[in-house]
Amino acid sequence: MSVHSQTVPMRTFWLFFLVLLFVHQDFWNWSDESLVGLGMPIGLFYHALFSLACSALGVWAVTRAWPTEWEKYAEEKSPPSTKSNQIRKGDSEQ
Amino acid sequence: MNVLLIISGYLSLLLLLGWGSGRMFRGTSRDFFVASHSIGPFLLLMSVFGTTMTAFALVGSTGKSFERGIGTYGLMASISGLIHMAIFFLIGIRLWALGKRHGYLTQIQFFRARFESDGLGYILFPILVLLVVPYLLIGIIGAGKVIEPVTAGAFPDLFTNPTIPAWVGGIPPWLTGLVICIVVLTYVFLGGSRGAALANAFQTVVFMAMGIVAFYFVVQSLGGLEQAGKVPMRITEDGSLVQDYRFDQKAGILMEQDPPKKIGQVLNFTNSNLTDRHPHLGRDPIVVEFKKKNPKTGELVPFERELGIPFITFVTYLFIPLSVGMFPHLFQHWLTARNARAFKLTVIAHPLCILIVWVPCVLIGSWATGLLPPGIPPPAVLSATLNMLVGDPWLTGLLTAGVLAAIMSSMDSQFLCLGTVFTNDIVVHRAGSKVYSDSQKLKIARSFIVIIVAVTYLLAMAVKNANVFDLAIWCFSGFAALFPLVFSALYWKRATKAGAIASVLTALISWAWFFHQSGYGGEYFVGPGIVPAAICFLVSAGALVVVSLLTSPPAQSTIDQFFPSRS
Q: Whole-angstrom Cα distance, residue B345 to residue B354?
A: 14
pLDDT of residue A88: 41
Helix B438-462 with B173-221: angle, nearest 10 deg: 70
> What residue type is assigned to position B45 of the chain?
L
Q: Closest chain B residue to A82 measured between Cα atoms?
A: B561
Which of B53, B76, B78 is the best residue to mutate to test the A interface, defined by the most A CB atoms within 10 Å of its own CB? B78
DSSP codes, B416-437: HHHHHHIIIIIIIHHH-TTTS-
Does an H or E element contain B413, and which? helix B393-421
Q: How close A53 gets to chain B, by Cα (Å)?
A: 9
With CB atoms and an 8 Å threshold, state whether B94 touches A70: yes
From the list A76, A78, A87, A85, the residue with the least C-alpha distance to B110 is A85
Q: Phi then psi for B115, rounded to 5 degrees?
A: -100, 10
Chain A residue numbers with beta carbons less than 8 Å from the beta carbon of B283 are: 30-31, 43
With beta carbons under 8 A apart, name residues in chain A contacting B563. 3-4
Show the low-confidence residues of chain B (pLDDT under 70). 1, 35-36, 55, 566-567
- How far are the Cα atoms of A85, A86, B109, B161, B430 from residue B114, in angstroms, in the given order? 9, 12, 9, 53, 18
User: Crossing angle of helices B41-52/B328-335, nearest 10°?
Assistant: 170
Tell me if A33 and B363 make a contact (CB, 8 A cut-off): no
What are the chain A neighbours of B362 within 8 Å (beta carbons)?
44
Q: Is the pLDDT of residue A53 over 60?
A: yes
Tell if the CB–CB gap between B277 and A33 is shorter than 8 Å.
yes
- Angstrom distance (rounded) from CA B9 to CA B482: 40
Whether the bond into B259 is cis, omega within 30 of 0: yes
Measure the CA–CA gap between A57 and B347, rounded to whole angstroms: 9
B365, B381 Cβ separation under 8 angstroms: yes
What is the number of CB-based contacts under 8 A between chain A and chain B? 189
Bin A32: left if φ > 0, else alpha if -120 < ψ < 50, else beta. Answer: beta
Mark yes or no for CB contact A67/B340 under 8 Å: yes
The residues in B 83-142 lying below 8 A from A, measured between CB atoms, are: 85-86, 89, 93-94, 96-98, 100-104, 109-110, 112-113, 116-119
- The dihedral through the CA atoms of B480, B402, B521, B306 has a sign that is positive
Q: Which residues contact B561 (CB under 8 A, 6 or more apart)?
A: A82, A84, B102, B113
pLDDT tens, position by position, B58-69 = 888 999 999 999
Contact assignment for B96 to A30 by CB distance below 8 Å: no
Q: Cβ contact (<8 Å) for B226 and A39?
A: yes
Chain B neighbors of A3, CB-CB under 8 A: 563-566
Cβ-nearest to A85 among B102, B278, B318: B102
Quick: pLDDT tens for B32-44: 777 667 788 998 8
Q: What was the pLDDT predicted at B434?
A: 81
The rounded distance, in Å, linking the Cα atoms of B530 and B136 is 26
What burial letters (b/e) apply to B228-261, b meaning 16+ CB within 10 Å? bbbbbbbbbeebbbbbbbbbeeeeeebeeeeebe
Chain A residue numbers with beta carbons less than 8 Å from the beta carbon of B277 are 33
| Subunit contact A27:B311, Cβ cutoff 8 A | yes
**Which residues does residue B245 pair with via DSSP β-bridges, in sequence order?**
B256
User: Which of the residues A46, A87, A88, A89 would you substitute to probe the B interface, choosing the one with the greatest number of B C-beta atoms within 10 Å?
Assistant: A87
pTM: 0.89
CA separation for the pair B561, B102 (Å, rounded): 9
* H-run or E-run covering B307: strand B300-307
Q: So what's the ipTM on this one? A: 0.88
Do residues A58 and B89 touch, judged by C-beta distance below 8 A? Answer: yes
In 3D space, the residue among B229, B231, B230, B235 whose CA is nearest the CA of residue B263 turns out to be B235
Please check whether residue B248 is in contact with residue B231, taking contact to mean a CB–CB distance below 8 angstroms. Answer: no
Distance CA B31, CA B422 (A): 17
Cross-chain Cβ contact B118/A92 below 8 Å: yes
Interface test with B, best of A7, A29, A42, A84 (most B CBs within 10 A): A84
List the 212-251 stretch of B: residues with Cβ below 8 A of A. Answer: 224-226, 228-229
Q: What is the DSSP string of B80-123?
A: HHHHHHHHIIIIIHHHHHHHHHHT--SHHHHHHHHTT-HHHHHH
Residues of chain B contacting residue A62, judged by C-beta atoms under 8 Å apart = 89, 343-344, 347-348
**Is residue A90 predicted with pLDDT exceeding 50?**
no
Q: Which of A19, A21, A44 to mutate to test the interface with B (most CBs of B within 10 A)?
A: A44
Say whether A50 and B558 touch across the interface (CB within 8 A).
no
Contact A51 B314 (CB under 8 A): no
The residues in A 5-64 lying below 8 A from B, measured between CB atoms, are 13, 17, 20-21, 24-27, 30-33, 35, 38-41, 43-44, 47-48, 50-52, 54-55, 57-59, 61-62
Q: Please tell me which residue of chain A has the smallest CA distance to B122.
A: A89
Q: Give B552's contacts (C-beta < 8 A, 6+ positions apart).
A: B496
Question: Rounded mean pLDDT of chain B?
Answer: 89
Interface touch A52/B351, C-beta < 8 Å: yes
What DSSP character marks residue B57? I
Q: What is the CA radius of gyration of chain A?
A: 22
Residues of chain B with C-beta less than 8 angstroms from the C-beta of A48: 73, 78, 355, 359
Determine the distance in angstroms separating the CA of A64 from the nearest CA of chain B, rounded to an integer: 12
The whole-angstrom separation of Cα B64 and Cα B461 is 22
Cβ contacts of B104 on chain A, cutoff 8 Å:
85
What Å distances lie between residue B125 and B423, B458, B465, CA to CA?
11, 21, 28
pLDDT over threshold 70, residue A35: yes
